[in-house]
Amino acid sequence: MERKIYSPETGKEVGTINLSDDVFGIEVSTGSIYYAIRNEETNRRVGTACTKTRSEVNYSNNKPYRQKGTGSARRGDKKSPLAVGGGTVFGPKPKDYTYSMPKKQKRLAIKSLLTLGVQEDRLIVVEDFTSKEGKTKDMVKVLKALSTDDQRTLMILPENDLLLRRACGNIKKLHVLQYNNLNARELMFGKKIIVLKSAAENLNEFYKER
């Protein structure tokens, strides 16, 4: 399919590019998108919640009072889960929640999200550019030219451009990813997806059917 290429300086059309139908024009798999986003959200869980059991509470092992003659129920030590400050029964312990999903399903999810971006007219291709000094104001001008300065935006780069990343770093609603390390969550919830021309060509090759 053919898509317009826009200038990052003026926001006007400067040419066209051919996007692969195997990447940007497939049948959308909503199931794969759901599982990819759930996988990413689960893998972000820290899993550091921790409670102390009866054996870990720092209390004496002595009985709080004698067994008989007090009129109260017999008690063991203060570590009992029934006592204030006692141990916790079946409480959370540190746990690793991460898991891997099939690579083919992950690739299908990414291609489905790129296709959705094209179908919903959220994906725009721009000429390659960089920031010579890594200044935030350079990136703000680009976003204004493309009318995306007030929206949650994802920018896809062809390579790890450190200066461009630095220019984008202070812009709250802008997220930057490399073409070979895309995030299903950002592709799904980004109101605009800015793809540099070289990154679009790389996506054609990287996600084509193998």
| CATH number for 157 | 3.40.1370.10
Domain membership of residue 64 as a residue range: 46-96
Domain shared by 75 and 90, yes or no: yes
56 and 14 part of one domain: no
How far from 93 is each of 56, 84, 88, 97, 109, CA to CA, in Å? Answer: 12, 20, 11, 12, 33
Q: What pLDDT does residue 210 have?
A: 56
pLDDT of 147 reads 84
Q: Can you read off the two tokens belonging to residue 134?
A: 């890594």
This prediction has a pTM of 0.84
CA nearest neighbour of 171 among 138, 146, 197, 199: 138
The predicted structure's pLDDT at residue 9: 87
Q: How far is CA 26 from the centre of its chain?
A: 23
What is the pLDDT at residue 52?
94
Q: How many domains does the chain have?
A: 2
Which element (helix H / strand E) includes 107? Answer: helix 103-119
Within the chain, which residues score under 70 in pLDDT?
Answer: 210
